[in-house]
Copies of this chain bind each other. A is one copy, B any other.
Amino acid sequence: MKKIGFIGLGTMGLPMANNLLKAGYELIVYNRSMDRVKLLEGELVTAADTPAEAAARSEVVFTMLSADKAVEEVVLGRGGVAEGAAPGLILADSTTIKPATSKKLAQVLADKGIEFLDAPVTGSEPHAVKGVLTFMVGGNKEIFDKCFPLFEVMGQKAVYMGDNGTGSTAKLANNLIAVVNMLALAEGVTMAAKAGINPETFMKVIQGGGAGSGMAEYKLPKIYNRDFTPTFKSDLMYKDLSLISAFAAENEVPVPALSMTKEFFRILLNKGLGHEDVCAIVKLYEEWAGVEVKK
């Protein structure tokens, strides 16, 4: 497979597409605002006027969009992927969406002979740039194997999870854990700071031990350096929290820690801080405790 369609050149999609180009794939891209296409490097890239055209000219199409609605429109809407696709096309969707939407898309597309993979990723923009994302993939195992070289170009890991929907489910469970770990970090470091502990020194204690986490590694230095520029925006996290909450309710799984965290992010958004990184959640604790977590 050499001709790859790529739809959605946002914060994540753009570096992902660039990594495919660098690896020598021919890219047919579509983005709502086409000036993003100029940001792609190399000569193997051409623009398509519609998602349908991108699909017609490709063997595999990746979508990396904002949410369920955008994916449904781009795939099933007028001028969408399904309209232009020849039977046998593979569509891999890396958007974080409801597992139910992934399952529905897979069913509808199967009727048209299109293979669907839900293939969301963990990692934020820097990981996308370096090509070290983790893909978690639901769908047909043979199709997964076929696409594995593509995942390897954009990621350091691609894990086959099971049937369609399990990729999206794994992503939601992953984000549940990540965001509650973020809350734990914010709560713990605020308590320590209030009692006079330097957070940079505290970082040395927790690193690599039972209290260590990806969130501590990525976010604690941002907190004590007072750098709230987003690698993962709080309002996008709130979107994910809402998806997780709805999914848990549908599956009759109580998620008390996630629910509390969701409400705290609602408070953060209402304070006008939705554009800041998820680590800005520490600002709530700082206000509540009357202390600033800094070096």
Contacts and interface: CB of A to CB of B under 8 A. Distances in A.
Nearest to A168: B195
A251 B288 CA distance: 12
A176 B206 CA distance: 11
B253 A191 contact: yes
A44 interface: no
Contacts of A88: none
Nearest to A165: B195
A285 interface: yes
A149 interface: no
B188 A176 contact: yes
Contacts of A215: 210, 213
A230 interface: no
A205 B196 CA distance: 37
B169 A211 contact: no
B202 A170 contact: yes
A194 interface: yes
A91 interface: no
Nearest to A136: B205
A161 B197 contact: yes
Nearest to A186: B257
